[in-house]
Amino acid sequence: MKIDPHKIGLAGAVASAILFTACSIFFSLWPAKMLEMTAALFHLNSFGPLSEYFELTAANYVSGLIQCAVYTYIYFYIFGYAYNRIQKR
């Protein structure tokens, strides 16, 4: 089975953009709880003095959304390419 790297890259980018938007909505509703959960992802007790620098603005959201989608597209494109190369052997 051959995977189209572009299509799988787009699917991954769209999925990550949706998840990023959901996380941003949760952060806007419950910022303290989301910071606590994010700190746990990095195996930290808290972000401590850095927590005052976390804010959700329109510019931050758009920048993060674009970065998340582009990085995920690249990752999945490479995955699809590598998968196809392995299948040829």
pLDDT tens, per residue, the chain with 89 residues: 899 999 999 999 999 999 999 999 999 999 989 989 988 988 888 888 888 888 899 999 999 999 999 999 999 999 999 999 999 87
CA distances from 50 to 46, 55, 59 (A): 9, 11, 19
pLDDT at 54: 85
Q: Which residues contact 27 (CB under 8 A, 6 or more apart)?
A: 34, 56
Burial class from Cβ neighbours inside 10 Å (0-12, 13-18, 19+) for residue 23 reads middle
Domain count, the chain: 1
Return the pLDDT at 52: 81
Q: Which domain holds residue 57?
A: 5-88
Residue 21 neighbours by CB under 8 Å, 6+ apart: 65
| This prediction's pTM | 0.85
Residue 53 is predicted with a pLDDT of 82
